[in-house]
Amino acid sequence: MRRPSITPTLAAFLSALLPGLGQVRQGRLRAARPYLRIALLLAVVVLLALTAGLTEIAKWLADPAHLLILLAANVMIAVLRTAAVWEAWRGGGGSFRKIGVVAILIFVLVPHVAVGWGQVRTYGFLTTVFSGGGTTPDFALGGTTSTTDTLAPGETTTTLTTMPTTTTTTVPWEGRGRLNLMLLGADSGTGRTGIRTDTMIIASIDLVDGDIAMFGFPRNLIDLKFPDGTEFTAYSRILNEVYPYGLDNPDRYPVSNPGAAALKDMLQGMTGIEIDYYVLINLQAFVDIVNALGGVTIYVNRTIVDEEYPLEDGTFTELRIEQGVNEMDGTTALAYVRSRHDSTDYDRMSRQRCFLSAMAAQADVGTILTSLPSLLDAIQANVATDIPLSSLPALVELVGVVKPTDALVIGFGPPDWITGRIDGYPIPNVPKIREAVALAISDPEQARTQFGIEEAGDACGFGDDPTVAPTTTTTTTTTSTSPTSSTTAP
């Protein structure tokens, strides 16, 4: 070939875009062939990966060993591109003293450094959060642990206990048809001591067809017993105090998170089913997680007005979320799932299940992958779980088959699910709760008939699509604004 007229800078830049392209424009095909062949091989690998689909890619990425492979590949590709740029520059007669090639090399290397940093962070995230219960973030330990059996109301200590780690190397639901997750929301904030699980939900997922049953538990249930028959007599004796009881009694629950173990023990006895994992989220981090996902659109079936909604800084503001389709950012979403001044705890429980269904319906694998950099910061220090790494690929696969809006939802509150009250607190009807849980899992249709259980979409008023108003209701699409700080002190 006749060598075309091309400057060393342009040749180097072309090889930065595609290794070997600058050499081709210089007419040096022999020099270009090795780079082009490797580039072609990489393109084939990427295309094959894309044909597998996002779910398979996400499952592959859920293995930290694969992340290390990608990190090594990233380094090798950076070396390949750097070599191609430098060879094109020198082959075109570029001088060592020119700075043009330096600028091009920076253009080449900066993205690889950024990608490598993200890969290292993701590796650290996976091996820290999904450690099978071996590592528990500080917030989940509440800052109060002791070896006493009970503490008086308001009494706390400040000694943290280091617990032995436990790991799981096999998928614990092998040979079973369902996966049972305990989902907890830690309601912490200004002026509050320790940790309270004001949100408690068990999600039971069919591993074959993705059907879900969600069971919600009011925070104020009383007259509770552990499966071994021991009565729960600590503090005010209500359900959201079982978690801190576990933290204060690590000798009874000698695991990395005794609080979650105690609550898991209690709810297993109440429902009669085995809980595989727990996931605990600090509700203040809930804001960042929703924002990282780009917000959530949800139909709200009635206007919510809270004249004294508490803000994180201890002040109050007036909250108003209109009936209709709302585009919620993280701050508004947190207010939606927490507010209860113009309603009851049981209404709040219902809204929490509705929001979880709407968020799960919109957070597909692609959304999660593209939001991953922001999600890492929001999750790593504010989510605790005993899900082991070995189970993560299987959980990723479940994302593609679950049907959040078709989930059966039950809130075990008064009047249908209690036998009476003690000092105003409801007493759970455990035999009836167990019967409903068993039937919702084994025969959902019969559970709908016998107990009047609804699917999440119907119970929440948005049907199969949480982002649109139901056709039988006339509403106006609105965009919610975040609650703002009050100008006056509480």
The residue extents of the domains of the chain are 8-129, 178-238+260-460
- List per-residue pLDDT tens for the chain, 490 residues long: 455 568 888 999 999 999 999 999 998 999 999 999 999 999 999 999 888 887 788 888 888 889 999 999 999 999 999 999 999 998 877 665 567 788 999 999 999 999 999 888 888 888 888 877 667 777 888 754 333 333 333 333 323 333 333 334 445 566 678 899 999 988 655 555 568 888 899 999 988 888 888 899 999 999 999 999 999 999 999 999 999 999 999 999 999 899 999 999 999 999 999 999 999 988 767 888 888 888 899 999 888 888 877 776 667 788 888 889 999 998 888 888 888 777 777 788 888 888 888 888 887 767 777 777 777 777 777 888 998 888 888 888 777 777 777 788 888 989 999 999 999 999 999 999 999 999 999 988 898 888 888 887 787 888 888 888 887 544 444 444 444 433 333 3
DSSP notation for 327-359: EE-HHHHHHHHH--TTS-HHHHHHHHHHHHHHH
**Per-residue confidence (pLDDT) for residue 162, from 0 to 100:** 32
pLDDT of residue 405: 72
CATH number belonging to the domain at 178-238+260-460, selected among 1.20.1050.10, 3.40.1190.10, 3.40.50.970, 3.40.630.190: 3.40.630.190
